[in-house]
Amino acid sequence: MPLYVALLQGINIGSKKRIRMEELRHLIAAHGGEDVRTYVNSGNVVFRHDATDVPALEARIEEALEAHIGLPVPTLIRTSDELDAIMKANPFPEAESEPKTLHVLFLRSNPDVEAVDAADEIETGPDRFAVHGREVYFFLPNLMSGATVDMKQVQKVLNVGDATARNWNTVTKLAEMTRT
């Protein structure tokens, strides 16, 4: 049975999209998830599911979440193998020693070449980013609070629809959870 990581956008950040992790685990289990585990309170779920159509599984979870909390919750899923590949593809390995400076923006779809070229024109100051498939890696040496590049702007220029970001500590922990 495939092992998946679901990344929910915007959960438990504001006052509206609220769900307890116990409820989230139950919701995923009620929709076929097995061995459901969550990490921190921001919508990171590791689970097994017999589904092989990932976009259909994303849609199924999104529908269940919207029915449960009354608001849309974009949900992006990666397989455990994809998460390992994301870790290995990090174009900023020097940032791994300071994981608070490294973030991954998970995209719904692959951006087209013209959009990636347009994103390369975005002014970043000391920050850097690199598009790699459905992920954008951000190296923010002055941390997120001092960032000069705007992830939302990059997402908009890439024209990929939904996206959600995780810091490197979270990406690393989720990858570890897929190995246990």
| 25 shares a domain with 73 | yes
Nearest Cα residue to 4 out of 34, 51, 48, 53 = 48
| 143 shares a domain with 95 | yes
pTM: predicted TM-score of the whole model, two decimal places:
0.95
C-alpha to C-alpha distance for 168 and 33, rounded to whole angstroms: 25
Contacts of 117 (CB under 8 A, 6+ apart): none
Residues of the chain below pLDDT 50: none
Structural domain for 136, as ranges = 89-168
The confidence score (pLDDT) of residue 16 equals: 80
| 65 shares a domain with 103 | no
The confidence score (pLDDT) of residue 15 equals: 76
Domain presence at residue 48: yes
| 93 shares a domain with 144 | yes
| 157 shares a domain with 123 | yes
Q: Final residue of a domain: which of 81, 113, 141?
A: 81
Could you identify the residue written with the tokens 């954008």? 136
Domain tally, the chain: 2
H or E stretch at 83 = helix 80-88
Contact criterion met (CB below 8 Å) for 168 and 136: no
C-alpha to C-alpha distance for 119 and 123, rounded to whole angstroms: 9
pLDDT tens digit sequence for 132-150: 999 999 999 999 999 999 9
| 103 shares a domain with 76 | no
